Amino acid sequence: MDLRNIAIIAHVDHGKTTLVDELLKQSGAFRENQAVAERAMDSNDIERERGITILAKCTSLEWAGKRINIVDTPGHADFGGEVERILSMVDGVVLLVDAAEGPMPQTKFVTAKALALGLRPIVVLNKVDKPDAEPDRALDEVFDLFANLGANDEQLDFPHMYASGRAGWADTTLEGPRKDLSALYDLIVAHVPEPKQIAHRSEPFRMLATTLSADPFIGRILTGRVEAGTLRAGETIKALSCTGDKIEQFRVSKILAFRGLSQSPIDVAEAGDIVTLAGMSKATVADTLCDVSVDVALPAQPIDPPTISVTFGINDSPLAGKDGSKVQSRVIRERLMKEAEINVAIKISDTPGGDAFEVAGRGELQMGVLIENMRREGFELSISRPRVLFREVDGQRMEPIEEVTIDVDDEYSGAVIEKLTGPRRGELAEMKPAGAGKTRIIAHVPSRGLIGYHGEFMTDTRGTGVLNRVFHDWAPHKGPIAGRRAGVLISMEAGAAVPYALWNLEERGHLFIGAQEPVYEGMIIGEHSRENDLEVNPLKGKKLSNVRASGTDEAVRLTTPVRMSLEQSIAYIDNDELVEVTPKAVRLRKRYLDPHERKRHAKSSGE
């Protein structure tokens, strides 16, 4: 059967997973009566809850006697490690762009990777049936984006289609019949070339491992595209590292191929196929799986280096061990090492004490997803404030700069620009009207200037602004950036918070806890209205007397406390604070619980 291997790339929430759903349905991959969840490719719980794609996944369908292997890629740059490996398995890309928003930062990130690999894109302008859609403007912006990214003439001469993934149609013109996706299937078959590996089927078997996972029944499994030769189940092959050193020799216990949303065992894998192999015990991502006669490893795609680092430690608060079952540093280390093996964009290193671990990655969202997965597995952790990783180039200290794209109402644009270009040391790159009373602001801001900014941004724009960010470049160190301006309210007692005490503390600032919640000495229970930290007593009850007076016995009415999400908490804390994460709670606390230790270690500012 003829093969086509494609990846679908797009910005977050531009509809690529919904489009894949429709492609599978209309190709007959599902039975008529088969129950299929919406956004079936987002199989991970967190993906469903947040509406984003985190893990790259493969599927396949048949159309007009041809098999089309489709890779659904993450749209967020924090999960770019998935994208870089996955694009090496395909021969073409479908770039999905929202007809109203146009190409966005994450579109730029993934598209740059695809164009650098020489892949020829097909552009699909999605959601053209929305009232605010401007497909012509979006198409012009896509062409400008390709030109800015250095696309060659062949890539600039891209075909485009108009579509509605949710309605399940795609046409070459806006006035098309809007019936189904058959025009898109035909364009993929005509435009995407057959895998060039097909010409190498007579050579010895070679395959580059792209993703690693584990199956509860068959163990460790590696997925990739067969670069040369054929392989039968039961044959013996070996694994080579990227330097050509032999890692292990093993018998292939199973070969699995993607069929719809599931994987089915097949007898033979041929060059050009995307398959999963089982049977290895040591081989991992970027290793070459090959015939025993092969001695040269396949070149692996380099991965962009991490830009931030977070310290994962044991939970040593007074409430430790009450919610979770996995609290020892040994167990935390094993889990992190397992994650580093699967996720090529994460690097783990031990700290001198041995009870904490430095986890380096792409961004706060990537770290938040890892921590969320661990807490759901029963882990208890203490998490530090993210730190930006610097480089030394010719004796000069360099720091990562991010390109920030902001869509905001015209009336709030001044406040946003003032914050980004002032204390956060950003530089305004572009500012233009985006229609409907909105302004689009593009700025280049140091990564450390964006840590903790999102909450402030939502306050400045009254919750109406949209902020997207992507790694831009390395630049000389911009100088000190001030940390959080407000101080915090710190509990000086341990017990259950008393409503009367919290009611009296409301004039001091915003509270993070409600009545009867457990607190301990050193725990942060709110944000102070001034710049200094303040120790308070949330357990102080009302003094009772035998005299009743009119107006003194009203019921206490508390303001609803501020509940921060995990990512918001990590971005909020200062250098001398930690986030305590358990399966049931996210709390903030001072790094040093003893009050004398806290005084000795004063709050430090940004670097």
> What amino acid occupies position 133?
A
User: Nearest-CA neighbor of 280 among 237, 342, 327?
Assistant: 237
Q: Which of 101-110, 218-227, 241-250, 319-328 has the lowest mean pLDDT?
A: 101-110
Query: For position 606, what pLDDT does the model report?
Result: 41
Query: For position 158, what pLDDT does the model report?
Result: 92
Query: For position 38, what pLDDT does the model report?
Result: 47
DSSP string, 256-300: EEEEBTEEEE-SEEETT-EEEEE--SS--TTPEEE-TT--SPPPP
Say which DSSP state 87 is in. Answer: G
Q: What is the pLDDT of residues 155-191, one digit of tens each?
A: 999 999 999 888 889 999 988 888 889 999 899 999 9
Sequence-ordered list of residues with C-beta below 8 angstroms from that of 221, at least 6 positions apart, any chain: 212, 213, 214, 215, 256, 276, 277, 278
125 has a pLDDT exceeding 90: yes
User: Nearest-CA neighbor of 251 among 229, 228, 275, 283?
Assistant: 283
32 has a pLDDT exceeding 60: no
For residues 281 and 455, the model is more confident at 281
Query: For position 523, what pLDDT does the model report?
Result: 92
For residues 407-419, give the mean pLDDT. 88
For a pLDDT cut of 70, what percent of the chain falls above it? 89
39 has a pLDDT exceeding 50: no
For residues 549-575, give the mean pLDDT. 78
Tell me how far apart the alpha carbons of residues 287 and 474 are, in angstroms, rounded to a whole number: 29
User: What are 348's strand-pairing partners?
Assistant: 359
Say which DSSP state 419 is in. Answer: H
> What amino acid occupies position 483?
G
Q: Report whether 326 contacts 332 (CB < 8 A).
A: yes
Q: What is the pLDDT of residues 80-120, one digit of tens each?
A: 555 667 788 889 999 999 888 888 776 777 788 888 888 99
- Do the strands 262-265 and 268-270 form a parallel or antiparallel pair, or are they unpaired? unpaired
Helix and strand numbers (H, E) in the chain are 15, 35
252 has a pLDDT exceeding 90: yes
Q: What is the pLDDT of residues 318-355, one digit of tens each?
A: 988 888 888 898 999 999 988 887 777 788 888 887 78
Helix, strand or coil for residue 390? coil
- Do the strands 288-290 and 206-215 form a parallel or antiparallel pair, or are they unpaired? antiparallel
Strongest mean pLDDT among 84-88, 451-455, 562-566: 562-566
Query: For position 254, what pLDDT does the model report?
Result: 92
- List Cα–Cα distances, 494 to 489, 518, 520, 521, 593, in angstroms: 14, 8, 4, 5, 11
Q: Token match 């694009």: residue?
A: 87
For residues 289 and 453, the model is more confident at 289
Q: Report whether 352 contacts 372 (CB < 8 A).
A: no
Length of the chain, please? 607
Q: Which of 22-31, 273-282, 305-314, 598-607 has the lowest mean pLDDT?
A: 598-607
Q: Which of 11-15, 58-62, 260-264, 441-445 has the lowest mean pLDDT?
A: 11-15
27 has a pLDDT exceeding 90: no
- Do the strands 230-232 and 347-350 form a parallel or antiparallel pair, or are they unpaired? unpaired
The encoded tokens of residue 269 equal 């894998």
CB atoms within 10 A of CB 170: 27
The encoded tokens of residue 15 equal 């509809």
Tell me how far apart the alpha carbons of residues 569 and 587 are, in angstroms, rounded to a whole number: 8
Q: Which of 54-63, 149-158, 424-433, 443-452 has the lowest mean pLDDT?
A: 54-63
Query: Which pLDDT band, with edges at 50, 70 and 90, does 303 fall under?
Result: low
Q: Report whether 483 contacts 453 (CB < 8 A).
A: no
Q: What is the pLDDT of residues 476-490, one digit of tens each?
A: 988 888 777 788 999
Tell me how far apart the alpha carbons of residues 487 and 530 are, in angstroms, rounded to a whole number: 6
Query: For position 320, what pLDDT does the model report?
Result: 87
Tell me how far apart the alpha carbons of residues 144 and 153 are, in angstroms, rounded to a whole number: 13
User: Nearest-CA neighbor of 482 among 335, 603, 361, 394?
Assistant: 603
Query: Which pLDDT band, with edges at 50, 70 and 90, does 51 fall under?
Result: low
The encoded tokens of residue 219 equal 């163990």
Query: Which pLDDT band, with edges at 50, 70 and 90, does 234 fall under?
Result: very high
The encoded tokens of residue 506 equal 């409301």
Query: For position 108, what pLDDT does the model report?
Result: 75
502 has a pLDDT exceeding 60: yes
Query: For position 404, what pLDDT does the model report?
Result: 87
CA angle 245, 248, 251 (to 5 degrees): 140
Query: Which pLDDT band, with edges at 50, 70 and 90, does 33 fall under?
Result: very low
User: What are 96's strand-pairing partners?
Assistant: 10, 124
Q: Strands, DSSP E only, in 233-390? A: 236-240, 246-251, 254-259, 262-265, 268-270, 274-278, 288-290, 308-313, 347-350, 356-361, 381-383, 387-388
Tell me how far apart the alpha carbons of residues 49 and 532 are, in angstroms, rounded to a whole number: 37
For residues 497-506, give the mean pLDDT. 90
469 has a pLDDT exceeding 50: yes
For residues 441-457, give the mean pLDDT. 84
For residues 519-525, give the mean pLDDT. 91
CB atoms within 10 A of CB 390: 15
Q: Which of 76-85, 495-504, 539-548, 557-566 has the lowest mean pLDDT?
A: 76-85
- Measured N-to-C along each axis, helices 16-26 and 182-191 cross at an angle, to the nearest 10 degrees, of 100
Query: For position 28, what pLDDT does the model report?
Result: 73
123 has a pLDDT exceeding 90: yes
- Compute φ and ψ for 418, nearest 5 degrees: -60, -45
pTM, two decimal places: 0.76
For a pLDDT cut of 90, what percent of the chain falls above it? 21
